[in-house]
């Protein structure tokens, strides 16, 4: 059995991990402002964030910059010409060893009393020194001449043969790094097996591209040549992809060299592999892999500008590293537009390249979309991420919690009313049934009364005195339409996010605390339109000029005409009416407002007033025009006006709404006289 122990918080314990609710809270403001869940998630991934433990999760931009610095540091440190110089230096050492052997051979002959031996030794020494002096300057030529050279020094010959073996192994490993474990001794038998392996692999590739059955099968191939691939690839595609990446890295090294260096190395490779069939098989494989994996980076090249020389094996390793950096960069760039691309990141390799902190950030970033989907807050619809109903409620709750946090505790709360009587809402209390009561029978209490009366036994007989009914709460119902200004001035004056957050919070408050109330939403700019609650998160401002309150009042009045209870309109705006609908149905706009627009708007206010609809206005930018208009509106409607700011808007709207609910439940109508 799992057991849990508890201790007092002392500030040293690790808090809870970042979860889906935290993530959606991070996204709320961006989502509400821009109205695009996918863009909000992309921006969060680009910018990064802090988790519950206040630890920094680096964003994609920061990780890309770190990756670029790592690549730049490598390129500014090393000189790729060192590959050539390293081999040339080792060949010079072999030649110097041979020169020393020639000198010893001559000195031994001089020390003898044999004149003929001395003459032959002098002649041989002179000829071989001349051969060494006339060695071609290029690597391939030097190797070719030394392969045909008759060695005087056994030590020099052994050094040269060992160097050739090492260079063959390094060259093959540079092309096929995963074969490293099988290429320790490149004798004739091993070279023949390598040729057979390349031939089988080429045939498999060519048969697959031609749509023919693959012979041998991948399983048969691995049974025969699996020792060449210690990484144990599980599929042919996995094996080929590994080989393509490795060969592309070697090609990138050649591309990054000067033409002279490249010619030197290619010539050396041809000289090292005198077996023409092996060279042909390797060239054939590279051609097949280029066709199968055109995006592996065959054309990559790097501009090295450092001073530290690189050896052959070191250069090959660095090319692999740079190739992995390029691949990781491509994944991160793709993830900026498609977050799902991060699922392909090799976190362990990223840790080797960029360190633990970067790997941790990548791991967490890759989990974001999956975390939201698994929690039921978002879902995929036609290739896009969309909020689920649960996610919509959570966004509203976040907006509501954010506004509550800014309000004094004594300004908000559920103002309970103690009245009871006929209604629809259960209070979970019962009473003996009296004639005229609604017959909301409490089965449990009724049966219990009968058993207590009869002393038990079956069947249980009921009489009217046993009946108990459930009490119900006296209800008041409110119908509200929120008119939300979506004109271009709202974001220009930094009012839009506050207004939209209020809309989300009000919807969350009513749907959770007052589910029998009605909330309608109307957005207005040049024209007005009804908005559904599920549309709210993605609603953005309109890129048009015009504040058409008249049309918004028309739609609001029609919506409230179908509702019951106390009716009100809450209007949030930062501008005076500058547009209205003309008799021909077309919108008219003018700034400053003309009298025709003001009159049309006030006429709608009068119609709302006659229908018993109160209008409460929350002004975010109290210009003289707007103040003058709102004064006329309140005189006609006897509603109220609030001059507020984006910081205090939420408090004003929610406190006012709750106070109205309190007044309605208390049986008082707080409409000003």
Domain boundaries, the chain: 20-77+325-387, 82-324, 420-473, 478-665
**Which value, to the nearest 10 degrees, does the dihedral of the CA atoms of residues 74, 80, 85, 91 take?**
100
- Who wins on pLDDT, 51 or 580? 580
pLDDT value, residue 395: 77
pLDDT value, residue 151: 92
Reported CATH class of domain 478-665: alpha beta
Helix axes 188-209, 236-256, angle to 10 degrees: 110
Mean pLDDT over each residue of the chain, to the nearest integer: 80
Cross-strand pairs, 473: 420, 425
pLDDT digits (tens, 9 = 90+) for 488-512: 888 888 888 888 888 888 888 888 7
90 burial via Cβ count (<10 Å: 0-12, 13-18, 19+): middle
Q: How far apart are CA 31 and CA 24, in angstroms?
A: 9
Q: How far apart are CA 186 and CA 254, in angstroms?
A: 24
pLDDT at 535 over 90: no
Percent share of the chain, pLDDT over 90: 17
Question: What is the gyration radius of the CA atoms in the chain, in angstroms?
Answer: 42
Pairing type for strands 425-432 and 468-473 reads antiparallel
pLDDT value, residue 436: 64
User: Any long-range contacts for 265-272 (C-beta under 8 Å, 24+ apart)?
Assistant: 265/83, 265/84, 265/139, 267/138, 267/139, 267/140, 267/141, 268/87, 268/139, 268/140, 268/143, 268/167, 269/171, 270/140, 271/140, 271/143, 271/144, 271/147, 272/143, 272/164, 272/167, 272/168, 272/171
Cross-strand pairs, 79: 309
pLDDT value, residue 585: 92
- Tell me which of 372-376, 554-558, 583-587 is least confident: 372-376
Find all residues with CB under 8 Å of 175, minimum gap 6, and list them: 246, 247, 250, 282, 286
pLDDT digits (tens, 9 = 90+) for 350-373: 888 888 888 888 888 877 777 777
What is the 8-class DSSP label of residue 295? T
pLDDT digits (tens, 9 = 90+) for 578-637: 999 999 999 999 988 899 999 999 999 999 999 999 998 888 876 778 888 888 998 999
pLDDT value, residue 406: 55
Find all residues with CB under 8 Å of 259, minimum gap 6, and list them: none
In this prediction, residues 649-661 reach a mean pLDDT of: 69
Greatest mean pLDDT range, 29-43, 217-231, 277-291, 602-616 = 602-616
Handedness of CA 662, 665, 667, 672 (dihedral sign): positive
pLDDT at 551 over 90: yes
3-state per-residue secondary structure call for 610-639: HCCEEEEEEECCCCHHHHHHHHHHHHHHCC
The CA-atom distances, in angstroms, between 463 and each of 48, 429, 660 are 70, 21, 45
In this prediction, residues 22-47 reach a mean pLDDT of: 79
pLDDT value, residue 452: 87
**Which value, to the nearest 10 degrees, does the dihedral of the CA atoms of residues 314, 318, 319, 324 take?**
150
Q: Are 253 and 304 in contact (CB under 8 A)?
A: no
Residue 313 Cα to chain centre, angstroms: 36
CA angle 605, 558, 505 (to 5 degrees): 85
Pairing type for strands 420-421 and 468-473 reads antiparallel
pLDDT band at 95 (very low <50, low <70, confident <90, very high): very high
pLDDT digits (tens, 9 = 90+) for 192-213: 888 888 899 899 988 988 888 8
In this prediction, residues 459-476 reach a mean pLDDT of: 77
pLDDT digits (tens, 9 = 90+) for 297-320: 888 888 888 888 877 777 878 888
> CB-side exposure of 54: number of CA atoms within 13 Å?
0
3-state per-residue secondary structure call for 207-227: HHHCCCCCCCCHHHHHHHHHH
Q: Are 564 and 489 in contact (CB under 8 A)?
A: no
**How many Cβ atoms sit within 10 Å of the Cβ of residue 280?**
15
The CA-atom distances, in angstroms, between 22 and each of 52, 53, 274 are 8, 12, 64
Query: pTM of the prediction?
Result: 0.60
Q: How far apart are CA 499 and CA 502, in angstroms?
A: 5
């Amino acid at each position: 059995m799992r057991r849990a122990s508890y201790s007092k918080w002392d500030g040293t314990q690790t808090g809870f991990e970042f979860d889906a609710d935290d993530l959606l809270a991070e996204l709320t403001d961006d989502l509400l402002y821009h109205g695009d869940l996918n863009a909000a998630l992309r921006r969060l991934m680009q910018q990064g964030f802090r988790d519950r433990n206040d630890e920094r999760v680096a964003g994609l931009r920061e990780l890309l910059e770190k990756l670029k610095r790592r690549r730049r540091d490598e390129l500014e440190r090393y000189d790729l010409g060192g590959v050539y110089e390293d081999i040339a230096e080792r060949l010079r050492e072999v030649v110097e060893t041979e020169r020393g052997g020639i000198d010893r051979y001559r000195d031994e002959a001089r020390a003898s009393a044999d004149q003929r031996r001395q003459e032959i030794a002098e002649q041989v020494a002179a000829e071989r020194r001349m051969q060494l002096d006339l060695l071609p300057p290029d690597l391939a030529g030097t190797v070719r001449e030394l392969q045909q050279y008759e060695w005087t020094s056994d030590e020099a010959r052994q050094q040269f043969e060992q160097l050739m073996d090492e260079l063959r192994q390094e060259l093959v490993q540079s092309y096929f790094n995963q074969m490293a474990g099988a290429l320790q001794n490149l004798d004739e038998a091993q070279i023949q097996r390598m040729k057979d392996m390349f031939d089988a692999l080429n045939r498999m590739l060519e048969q697959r591209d031609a749509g023919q059955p693959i012979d041998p099968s991948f399983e048969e191939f691995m049974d025969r040549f699996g020792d060449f691939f210690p990484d144990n690839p599980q599929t042919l595609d996995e094996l080929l992809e590994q080989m393509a990446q490795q060969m592309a890295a070697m090609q990138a090294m050649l591309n990054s060299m000067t033409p002279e260096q490249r010619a030197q190395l290619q010539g050396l490779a041809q000289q090292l592999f005198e077996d023409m069939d092996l060279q042909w098989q390797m060239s054939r494989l590279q051609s097949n892999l280029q066709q199968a994996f055109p995006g592996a980076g065959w054309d990559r090249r790097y501009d090295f500008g450092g001073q530290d020389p690189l050896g052959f094996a070191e250069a090959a390793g660095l090319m692999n590293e740079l190739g992995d950096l390029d691949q990781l960069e491509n994944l991160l760039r793709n993830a900026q537009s498609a977050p799902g691309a991060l699922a392909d990141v090799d976190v362990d390799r990223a840790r080797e390249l960029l360190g633990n902190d970067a790997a941790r950030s990548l791991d967490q970033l890759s989990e974001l979309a999956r975390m939201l989907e698994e929690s039921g807050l978002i879902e995929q619809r036609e290739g896009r991420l969309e909020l689920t109903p649960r996610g919509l409620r959570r966004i509203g709750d976040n907006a509501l919690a954010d506004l509550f946090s800014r309000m004094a505790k004594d300004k908000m709360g559920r103002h309970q009313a103690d009245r009871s009587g006929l209604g629809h809402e259960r209070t979970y209390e019962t009473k003996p049934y009296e004639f005229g009561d609604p017959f909301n029978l409490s089965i449990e209490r009724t049966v219990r009364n009968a058993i207590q009366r009869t002393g038990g036994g079956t069947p249980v007989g009921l009489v009217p005195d046993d009946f108990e009914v459930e009490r119900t709460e006296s209800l008041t119902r409110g119908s509200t339409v929120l008119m939300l200004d979506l004109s271009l001035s709202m974001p220009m004056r930094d009012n839009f996010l506050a207004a939209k957050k209020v809309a989300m919070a009000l919807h969350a408050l009513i749907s959770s605390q007052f589910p029998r109330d009605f909330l309608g939403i109307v957005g207005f700019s040049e024209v007005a339109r009804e908005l559904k609650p599920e549309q709210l998160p993605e609603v953005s401002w309109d890129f048009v000029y015009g504040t058409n309150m008249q049309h918004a009042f028309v739609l609001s009045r029609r919506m409230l005409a179908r509702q019951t209870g106390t009716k009100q309109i809450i209007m949030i705006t930062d501008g005076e009416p500058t547009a209205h609908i003309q008799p021909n149905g077309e919108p008219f706009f003018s700034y400053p407002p003309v009298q025709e627009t003001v009159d049309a708007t006030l006429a709608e206010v009068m119609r709302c007033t006659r229908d018993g609809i109160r209008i409460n206005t929350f002004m975010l930018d109290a210009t003289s025009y707007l103040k003058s208009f709102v004064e006329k509106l309140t005189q006609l409607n006897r509603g109220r006006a609030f001059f507020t700011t984006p910081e205090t808007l939420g408090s004003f709207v929610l406190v006012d709404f709750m106070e109205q609910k309190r007044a309605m439940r208390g049986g008082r109508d707080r409409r000003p006289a």
